[in-house]
Chain A
């Protein structure tokens, strides 16, 4: 996976031998306790392993593509066929309960954040658990959280959400004045409340960013982020006059969906193809993006194209604002673009591509902190250097 040599001929020879093996390791190992129909990498696509996270996002926000339909059909038929094999042996699954199923159910709702779905799934684990002591419960939760994380290694907010909840459990389980049942009900209650926290977080972020949107400004938006949508919605409700330039956002074409939503709010919208960003950057006053994850350096991981836009904005002295909830802070420190695990999304070009033509299918990129101006989070307005401070405090 380490394509560093400039000699692409050597690489090509290596790839032909290495690649099939790689594609096997890229899919999560089939553990016995997870039912296979929910495997995000259907056997069909061994060569192009897919990131379930970006697949779900496309389902929520993107325009439906033909190959997505084909895959979902595959998955549906397979699920029917192997429906009877759901009960497998193993600790928690012996009760015909799978945290993965639970997570998937929650994740299907378009308005729910990944991390919230993860924490709700873990709450369901607690509810269904038969543990009698906190230690036992913690061990079960750890197992569930690990299986969730390994099921989709590409989703940062999923990992961050699981870690956050595990931290909360470990920190508060040592309180001596509580008995087990009240501790358990408290954990379940806090997990359910987390959905509210996440929703409130979006409202707080929207309020904090209102001052930065002034009358007559032009905002460039990339990708469909629910938080950014909330920000723009609140600005429109506060009767601010602004217009939005919206990138198309290939391959999900999530920009089209965003343009629809903004048109409903009577906000003047202009659609651009992704390559037109530099062309229009001089009429832009600020760039607003969401984030899939905020990393330790203060940079962000977001939909492919964000780094490009940040570079252009930086060279033209335009501020880049990021709106992200605090549970997206992750303990990653990518040193370059390829340093993260790959998250691949198939791209539909509309015409068949010859098989010896490679396609760059990564769904996300990393934007280093020096290109970001401010991050709006529910912890307040932060400069990128504050992020690492927050993370250190959390994990100290």
Chain B
């Protein structure tokens, strides 16, 4: 474990540039270095990942992608464990049928408990639903003990679980890396001839999306809102011109004036919440409101690693980051207004520089993810596919008697 601890520490210090991919790679090394016992291996892996995940999330709660990846990996572990268990039970049933001479009762009991346990395991993986409301709460710890019989069986299963999980995490990393391409593939369906697209700030997903449409010989124009105070819209405008796209640069305040000439708004997101709300760079809410007022479709591009299973209850405050005022003001000119020594000891001029905006789901027309295009009210389905209900709160429980 000391190796992993060192890895985690370096990761935490560099969390400013943390990306989903780095989180996944870190968790992969945690899993591969984790020594698993023979029984309840999934539990051991889950605990190890939760322990690291807790630290990662606590270090920067606003960076939601980190938490998302931790939960994805936990879900992967549970899924792989379940598929291995059901496979093992299938084999066990065959073997139980074959030797029916002695211990008829024991075999009967084993088959009964195995079938019940498989059903129970199935229901633990699915979130609680109306169907399972009346059923017994399953005993999760009993799963590997009752079903695994031979010693050879056990060791092969232990190797297999880690191997399967690491393979699945590799697939996850692959998905994260290629999400831009998968989203860009859908560009041709949404951008048609002679359209005017509006975007704000700069997002790699959006630029790849636009380039892909350009490749397919669509002719369109782009309005880029500069995205104060970081002015990343300027960089995007340069890139677009380099690719031969007709671009118009406007200030954020001019969005409302220009929106009536726009056919579609395409933006990226920092995170997508479970209710379909979007955490996006500051200024996005006013673009969304302007688009709604003029009935312009507001399309959000987001890779599936940005999908967060939490419901926002105060996103403007809790999921926001306040950045340095120097991005707004030149300190040299305003230093006397911001003096703590004058008057009552608190400066008269406060500068607030939030990094993110919350766009409520009713303003979003369409989400384009690497899994296709969806309605905001459909987001919960993708969440049910990618995450387990047990992992919403990533906390290592104090285990009594494992």
- Taking Cβ atoms with an 8 Å cutoff, the residues of A that contact B are 164-165, 167-168, 171-172, 177, 190, 193-194, 197, 211-212, 214, 326-327, 329, 374, 378-383, 385-386, 389-391, 393-394
Q: Would you mind naming 28 contact pairs between A and B with Cβ atoms under 8 Å apart?
A: A164-B130, A164-B133, A164-B134, A165-B134, A168-B133, A168-B134, A168-B135, A171-B131, A177-B108, A177-B111, A177-B112, A190-B136, A194-B134, A197-B133, A197-B134, A326-B133, A329-B130, A374-B311, A379-B127, A379-B128, A380-B127, A381-B274, A381-B311, A383-B361, A383-B380, A385-B378, A386-B380, A389-B381
Chain A hits for B275, CB < 8 A: 374, 383
* A380–B389 alpha-carbon span in the complex (Å): 9
A394 adjacent to B313 (CB under 8 Å):
no
> Given A177-B115, A374-B311, are A379 and B380 neighbors across the interface (CB < 8 Å)?
no
B interface, CB within 8 angstroms of A: 108, 111-112, 115, 127-131, 133-136, 274-276, 311, 313-314, 361, 377-378, 380-381, 389
Residues of the A chain whose Cβ atoms lie less than 8 Å from the Cβ of B131: 167, 171, 393-394
Q: Which of chain B's residues have a CB closer than 8 A to the CB of A190? A: 134-136
Residue of A nearest to B131 (CB): A394
How far in angstroms is the closest Cβ of chain B from A376?
10
Residue of A nearest to B361 (CB): A383
User: CB-CB < 8 A to B111: which residues of A?
Assistant: 177
Pick from B133, B135, B274: contact of A327, CB under 8 Å:
B133
Q: Is B129 touching A394 in the complex (CB atoms < 8 A)? A: yes
Complex-state Cα separation, A286 to B211, whole angstroms: 44
CB-CB under 8 A for A326 and B130, given A381-B311, A383-B275 = yes
A177-B112, A383-B276 known; A390 vs B130 contact (CB < 8 Å) = yes
Contacts of A394 in B (CB 8 A): 129-131
In angstroms, Cα B311 to Cα A386, docked, is: 14
Whole-angstrom distance between the Cβ of A85 and the nearest chain B Cβ: 36
A385, B381: Cα distance in complex, Å: 10
Minimal beta-carbon separation of B385 from chain A (angstroms) = 13
- Report the minimum CB–CB distance from B317 to chain A (whole Å): 9
Interface centre among B108, B136, B275 (most CB of A within 10 A): B275
Write out the residue numbers on chain A whose beta carbons fall within 8 Å of the beta carbon of B133: 164, 168, 197, 326-327
Given A214-B314, A326-B128, A389-B380; 13 other pairs, CB 8 A cutoff: A164-B130, A165-B134, A168-B134, A168-B135, A190-B135, A211-B313, A214-B313, A379-B130, A380-B389, A382-B380, A385-B377, A385-B378, A393-B130
Assembled-state Cα–Cα distance A167/B275 (Å):
30
Name the distance in Å between A238's Cβ and chain B's nearest Cβ: 15
C-alpha spacing A194/B136, complex, angstroms: 10
Complex-state Cα separation, A171 to B132, whole angstroms: 11
Whole-angstrom distance from the CB of A389 to the nearest CB of chain B?
7
Q: How far is the CB of B116 from chain A (nearest CB, A)?
A: 9
- Cα of A380 to Cα of B313 in the assembled complex, Å: 14
Return the chain B residue nearest A171 by Cβ. Answer: B131
Q: How far is the CA of A165 from the CA of B130 in the complex (A)?
A: 11
Q: In the assembly, what is the distance between CA of A394 and CA of B381, in Å?
A: 16
Task: Contact check, B134 vs A380: say whether CB atoms are below 8 A apart.
Answer: no
Whole-angstrom distance between the alpha carbons of A236 and B64 in the complex? 30
Evaluate contact between B134 and A390: CB separation under 8 angstroms: no
B313 and A212 within 8 A (CB): yes
Q: Are A378 and B128 in contact (CB under 8 A)?
A: yes
Nearest CB to that of A319 among chain B residues? B313
Q: How far is the CB of B15 from chain A (nearest CB, A)?
A: 24
Interfacial chain B residues near A171, Cβ < 8 Å? 131
Taking the nearest CB of chain A, how far is it from the CB of B363, in angstroms?
Answer: 12
Question: Cβ of A391 and Cβ of B276 under 8 Å apart?
Answer: no
Complex formed: what's the CA distance from A383 to B360 in Å?
Answer: 13
Nearest-neighbour CB distance to chain B for A160, whole angstroms, equals 9
Task: Give chain B residues whose Cβ lies under 8 Å from the Cβ of A165.
Answer: 134
Residues on A with C-beta less than 8 A from B380 are 382-383, 385-386, 389
Q: Which chain B positions have C-beta within 8 A of A374?
A: 275, 311
Chain A: CB-nearest residue to B375: A385
- Name the residue on B nearest A210 (C-beta): B313
Chain B proximity of A121: nearest CB distance (Å) = 15
In the complex, chain B residues whose CB is within 8 Å of the CB of A326: 128, 130, 133
Considering only CB atoms, which chain A residue lies closest to B108 in the complex?
Answer: A177
- A184 CB to closest chain B CB, in angstroms? 15
Q: How far does the alpha carbon of A382 sit from the alpha carbon of B133 in the complex, in Å?
A: 16
CA A167 to CA B130, docked complex, whole Å: 10
Determine the distance from Cα of A164 to Cα of B129 in the docked complex, in whole angstroms: 12
User: Complex: how many Å from CA A329 to CA B128?
Assistant: 14
Bound together, the chains give a CA A337 to CA B136 distance in angstroms of: 38
A373 to chain B: closest residue by CB: B275
Q: How far is B313's CA from A300's CA once the two chains are assembled, in angstroms?
A: 22
Contacts of A167 in B (CB 8 A): 131
Residue of A nearest to B380 (CB): A386
CB distance from A366 to the nearest CB of B (A): 20
- What's the nearest-Cβ distance from chain A to residue B382, in Å? 12
